[in-house]
């Protein structure tokens, strides 16, 4: 087990190294310039992410609130819910948000066969392309769970989180807000659910509180790039903090 962990740590470091060295060209210079600007202006970037939508009433209220506050977020959508909410999904992108894939049926991918993984991801990806056009639709696996070997099945970056208020369980805005404010820091990826009414209230309060402290809410793609991280296919990102991301990736091995 120890040898496996060491090997995995080395492979992970190599993967990160490759991803980072992939940024040595034009885009890499742009990214590192962006990172320098971020540092020099002391802006604290953070990413709010919402799973399990879209849901007509709660998601539209959230989009209204985010827009009013000049905040952007990332939405990982359940494929079978897209068809009835196409205008809402188009609005997410029109407002500057990032849209991603949370499988078709919200199935646990960990332990599933390759064909199930490909079908669950592929069907939602096709639906997103039909509604939004061609693009790169990043994936958040339901429950955040995948086998290490399954990552090779993905042609896009994978997104985990570093702050989880367990909003789906508490369904209490006060507790959600407190839980997020306790753990959040620049570079955090916050997990919430736009399908839960209390979570929408909490998310908007979190935006108000953190914006007043100098935070800016950006998409996950922007968060990584502003911190000099070049997103790579099949790599699971927990936050924009490279050390934290690597540690957590390693700790996932054997789980
Ligand atoms: Ni989910």
Res 81: pLDDT: 98
Res 51: pLDDT: 98
Kindly report the CATH number assigned to the domain that includes residue 60. Answer: 3.20.20.370
Annotated active-site residue in 51, 52, 194, 201? 51
Q: Which domain holds residue 24?
A: 2-252
**CB distance 184 to 163 below 8 Å:** yes
CA–CA dist 158, 247 (Å, integer): 16
pLDDT grade for 26, boundaries at 50, 70 and 90: very low
The string of pLDDT tens digits covering residues 87-137 is 999 999 999 999 999 999 999 999 999 999 999 999 999 999 999 999 999
Compute, in angstroms, the gap from residue 142 CA to the centroid of ligand 1.
Answer: 5
Query: Average pLDDT for residues 68-81, to the nearest whole number?
Result: 98
Number of domains in the chain: 1
Res 241: pLDDT: 83
Res 43: pLDDT: 85
| Closest among 127, 161, 170 to 50, alpha carbons compared | 161
Is 106 in the active site? no
Annotated active-site residue in 125, 167, 176, 193? 193
Residue 200 has pLDDT above 80, yes or no: yes
**Against a cut of 0.85, is the pTM above it?**
no
CA–CA dist 98, 218 (Å, integer): 9
Percent of the chain with pLDDT strictly greater than 90: 77
Is 238 in the active site? no
């Amino acid at each position: 087990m120890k040898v496996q962990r060491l090997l995995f740590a080395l492979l992970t470091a190599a993967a990160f190294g490759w991803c980072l060295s992939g940024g040595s060209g034009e885009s890499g210079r742009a990214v590192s310039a962006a990172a320098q600007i971020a540092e020099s202006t002391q802006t604290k970037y953070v990413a709010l992410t919402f799973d399990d939508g879209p849901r007509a009433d709660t998601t539209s209220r959230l989009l209204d609130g985010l827009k009013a506050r000049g905040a952007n977020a990332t939405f990982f959508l359940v494929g079978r819910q897209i068809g009835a909410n196409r205008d809402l999904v188009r609005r997410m992108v029109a407002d500057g948000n990032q849209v991603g894939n949370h499988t078709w049926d919200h199935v646990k991918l960990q332990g599933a066969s390759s064909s199930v993984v490909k079908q669950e991801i592929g069907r939602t990806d096709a639906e997103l392309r039909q509604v939004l056009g061609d693009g790169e639709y990043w994936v958040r696996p339901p429950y955040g769970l995948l086998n290490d070997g399954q990552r090779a099945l993905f042609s896009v970056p994978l997104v985990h989180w570093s702050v989880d208020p367990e909003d789906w369980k508490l369904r209490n805005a006060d507790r959600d807000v407190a839980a997020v404010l306790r753990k959040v820091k620049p570079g955090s990826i916050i997990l919430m659910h736009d399908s839960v009414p209390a979570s929408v209230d909490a998310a908007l309060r979190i935006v108000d509180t953190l914006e007043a402290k100098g935070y800016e809410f950006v998409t996950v793609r922007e968060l990584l790039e502003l911190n000099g991280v070049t997103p790579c296919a099949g790599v699971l990102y927990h936050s924009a903090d490279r050390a934290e991301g690597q540690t957590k990736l390693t700790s996932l091995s054997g789980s």
